[in-house]
Amino acid sequence: QLQLQESGPGLVKPSETLSLTCTVSGGSISSNGYYWGWVRQPPGKGLEWIGTIYYSGTTYYNPSLKSRVTLSVDTSKNQFSLKLGSVTAADTAVYFCARHSSGSLFDPWGQGTLVTVSS
């Protein structure tokens, strides 16, 4: 059974870089046809797609975040990662990682991790 787990600091200072890693277990991140995505949800608000990466390193980003986001993948560790630069309080959110396939299918999801941007 495929499982995903986010990890990283829960508190980041304004203007710094948020860094999260998603560890995939129960399957290979290099599986053909599957992509790996990040979605976030500010407290009390809706879901927002951040970006998606293929195991080859091909990336796709939300245009509204593109200038600040970098996704990477480490197939040897079965992990993929998110970096979001120049964060502000508006980036405070629960960050989810998920397998992304078949157009707009995100499944399964990690449990999510709350990242707070505050000094």
Partner 1 sequence: QTVVTQEPSFSVSPGGTVTLTCGLSSGSVSTSYYPSWYQQTPGQTPRTLIYNTNTRSSGVPDRFSGSILGNKAALTITGAQADDESDYYCVLYMGSGISVFGGGTKVTVL
Interface segment toward partner 1; rule CB under 8 A; list 10-18, 43-51, 69-77, 78-86? 43-51
Which residue in 10, 32, 63, 76 binds partner 1 (CB under 8 A)? Answer: 63
Residue 65: both structure tokens together: 């975040």
Peptide bond preceding 108 in cis form (omega within 30 of 0): yes
Q: Closest approach of Cβ 105 to partner 1, in Å?
A: 4
| Count of residues that interact with partner 1, criterion CB under 8 A | 23
Q: Name the residue among 112, 95, 89, 87 with its Cα closest to residue 18.
A: 87
Residue 46 burial (CB < 10 Å; 0-12/13-18/19+)?
exposed
Contact 23, 5 (CB under 8 A): yes
For partner 1, the closer CB: 46 or 76: 46
Task: Please tell me whether residue 109 binds partner 1 under the rule CB under 8 A.
Answer: yes
Check residue 1 for interaction with partner 1 (CB under 8 A): no
**Residue 52 touching partner 1 (CB under 8 A):** yes
Q: Which two tokens stand for residue 86?
A: 């120049």
Name the residues that contact partner 1, by CB under 8 A.
Answer: 37, 39, 46-49, 52, 60, 62-64, 96, 100, 102-107, 109-112
